[in-house]
Amino acid sequence: MTEPKLFKLPDVGEGLTEAEIVKWHVQPGDTVEDGQTIVEIETAKAIVELPCPFDGVVTELLATEGETVDVGVPIIAVDAGGDGAVATPVSEPPAQTAALREEGVPTANEPGMVTPEEPPKRQPVLVGYGVKEGATKRRARKASSNGVASAAVAPVRPPAPRPQPVDNGLPLAKPPVRKMAKELGIDLATVTGSGPQGSITREDILAAQGAPQAPVAAGPREERVPVKGVRKATAAAMSGSAFTAPHVTEFLQVDVTRTMETVKRLRELPEFADVKVSPLLLVARALLTAVRRHPMVNSTWVDGPNGAEIVVKRYVNLGIAAATDRGLIVPKVKDAQDLDLPGLARALKELTEKARAGKASPGDLSDGTISITNVGVFGVDTGTPILTPGEAAILAFGQIRDMPWVHEGELAIRKVTTLALSFDHRIVDGELGSRVLRDVGDMLEDPIRMLAWS
């Protein structure tokens, strides 16, 4: 039994590297003819019907509908029979061409090559598949007894000093070489080809650019990441929040030297022996205290049948944004207002560990009332966070840095961070937002205030 012919996904448009299989028009066991439409594919530009370049019987579909396939990857196998009478995409002298292809040399009759001696009578529909000259179906040439096609074989000409343009003004070059020249901004008409029949090669393009003739790095130039799961849900939620709630963000630089000293002392207490105490713990406690002092910041806007309402929550489900391999998620510490400081520390630790391990339940990720995002762990000073849908405020906590600061009337090096509070301006006006942000800053400058205001 002869080896099946493999049809590889062609480049159906300059610059495309992949396509999605939309619909197969054939199945294993079906008889196909040269030029028959066998599959529909979708690229970034359009849906394209691909013709089969072989006569034969389909033996296997190598890609499924909905699958994204890279250009050059086989998508179908066809048994073309054992007599070698197989139609090829473009008529070419089989003996010399096969020999050249085995050596990796492009030929003038290869798919996508433009030959100056025989300009195309019509513009090809797809790269690598020319339009037929007439209505009759093109058949393969029969091989003679010595294995050489009976048709006259044109000799391969020696390289010309420079490519000669054809009717459409294109020198002899393969599509990947044209693509490379376009990306580098090089006019092919100004390049002297060193390949067979004066064709332009990659090395010629590099030489024209003045770059060293080194191999071009293989592999895709781009990576496409499917938007699904957590990323899809987060994108939809953030888009809805950004274009529904009018956002306002205020910023405040704070001297947190005393907070850092307090963190160090808390780590020495036995109540915190089994948990990691970080500045985020005191930021969370400060925000909970500010919510108690200003309940309106812990609310949500509801459009009901009888008009809009502001629902003020008397409980705090505190969201802590966590970066995971699946994207950004915001688990909630439920009823955080009822926890003491060691209890809050344990809750933060357990919830973030579950989230990063991918074990957070839907209940852990829902029903938040206000959130914190700690951008400081990424070495970022601050940002303008987008509200979690249904919440009125979110606090961004930036990195803590040594900075020159006026302390007690003198210039000193202090631990400084930047806080940013984004809020829904339908609920929280500038005065309330400023008071909340200032209260959090005051408590981080002097943690004793947390005790006084609790």
**Domains defined along the chain, listed by start:** 5-79 (2.40.50.100), 245-453 (3.30.559.10)
Reported as a single tens digit per residue, the pLDDT across 67-108 is 888 888 999 999 987 543 333 343 344 444 444 444 444 444
Specify the pLDDT at position 139.
Answer: 43
Q: Residue 211 has what pLDDT?
A: 53
More confident position, 232 or 383: 383
Q: Which of 162-176, 189-203, 248-262 has the highest mean pLDDT?
A: 248-262
Nearest to 8 by CA among 69, 99, 92, 88: 69
Question: Could you give the 3-state DSSP secondary structure of residue 433?
Answer: helix
pLDDT at res. 58: 93
Q: How far apart are CA 172 and CA 200, in angstroms?
A: 6
Q: What are phi and psi of 383, to 5 degrees?
A: -170, 180
Q: What pLDDT sits at residue 113?
A: 45
- Are 56 and 28 within 8 A, CB to CB? no
Q: Is 89 exposed, middle or buried (0-12, 13-18, 19+ CB in 10 A)?
A: buried
- The predicted-structure confidence for 45-62, as pLDDT tens digits, reads as follows 456 789 988 899 999 999
**Residues marked as catalytic:** 425
Residue 299, classed as helix, strand or coil, is: strand
**Is residue 157 pLDDT above 90, yes or no?**
no
Instruction: Return the pLDDT at 86.
Output: 38
Residues 6+ apart with CB under 8 A from 361: none
Cβ(400)–Cβ(378) under 8 Å?
no
**Residue whose structure tokens are 């086989």:** 74
Among 130-139, 266-275, 442-451, which is the least confidently predicted range? Answer: 130-139
What is the pTM (predicted TM-score) of this model? Answer: 0.52
Residue range 342-367: average pLDDT?
Answer: 86
Name which of 395, 399, 397 is nearest 433 in CA terms. Answer: 395
How high is the pLDDT of residue 98? 44
Phi-psi region of 37 (alpha: psi -120 to 50; beta: other; left: phi over 0): beta
Give the torsion sign (CA, 166, 171, 172, 175): negative
pLDDT value for 133: 42
DSSP 8-class letter at 307: E
Under the banding of pLDDT at 50, 70 and 90, the label for residue 17 is confident
Nearest-angstrom CA–CA distance, 224 and 218: 17
Residue among 381, 380, 370 at smallest CA distance from 291: 370
Torsion-angle region of residue 198: left (phi > 0), alpha (psi -120 to 50) or beta? left
Could you tell me the pLDDT band of residue 252, with boundaries at 50, 70 and 90? very high
More confident residue, 209 or 112: 209
From residue 153, alpha-carbon distances to 7, 88, 89 in Å are 26, 16, 17
On the question of pLDDT at 233 being above 60, the answer is yes
Instruction: Give the position of tokens 């829904």.
Output: 424
User: What confidence score (pLDDT) does residue 177 get?
Assistant: 82
**116 compared with 320, residue with greater pLDDT:** 320
Q: Regarding predicted confidence, which is higher, 88 or 39?
A: 39
